[in-house]
């Protein structure tokens, strides 16, 4: 589900850095997901792909690699103008984020 190995490697053992990165993820990704939804609904594929690319790395840093892969897939769907499939995949990505949110929030509390 969540694997913070990469984040811990990046932090060099700094728990402050790890907490800050998790907080940034929890604060910024909901905004980016909302922006992504709006871009998809407006058929603004360029913006949607840029947002997907941005948050893909955030999911990767948090070790949520399946969702990072879904974001790659979303970009490919947009390249092929498969908007309905892209919207369906966005729903899956959004649900996944909200499933891992409590886990990451608890991790911050446990540091």
Q: Which helix (H) or strand (E) holds 43?
A: none
Whose tokens are 């589900």? That residue is: 1
Q: What is the pLDDT of residue 99?
A: 97
Q: What is the pLDDT of residue 111?
A: 84
Whether the model pTM is above 0.75 = yes
Contact status, residue 29 vs residue 55, Cβ threshold 8 Å:
yes
Q: Is 97 exposed, middle or buried (0-12, 13-18, 19+ CB in 10 A)?
A: buried
Q: What is the pLDDT of residue 26?
A: 98
Contact status, residue 93 vs residue 67, Cβ threshold 8 Å:
yes
**pLDDT digit string (tens) for the chain, length 111 residues:** 799 999 999 999 999 999 999 999 999 999 999 999 999 999 999 999 999 999 999 999 999 999 999 999 999 999 999 999 999 999 999 999 999 999 999 999 988
Q: What is the pLDDT of residue 1?
A: 79
Q: How many CB atoms lie within 10 A of CB 67?
A: 22
Query: Does residue 12 sit in helix, strand or coil?
Result: coil
């Amino acid at each position: 589900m969540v694997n913070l190995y990469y984040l811990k490697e990046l932090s060099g053992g700094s728990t402050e850095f790890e907490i800050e990165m998790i907080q940034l993820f929890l604060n910024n990704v909901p905004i980016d997901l909302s922006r992504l939804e709006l871009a998809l609904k407006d058929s603004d594929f360029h913006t949607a792909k840029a947002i997907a690319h941005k948050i893909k790395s955030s999911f990767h840093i948090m070790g949520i690699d399946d969702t990072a892969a879904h974001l790659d897939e979303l970009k490919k769907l947009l390249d092929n103008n498969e908007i309905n499939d892209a919207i369906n995949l966005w729903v899956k990505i959004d649900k996944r984020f909200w499933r891992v949110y409590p886990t990451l929030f608890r991790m911050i509390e446990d540091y």
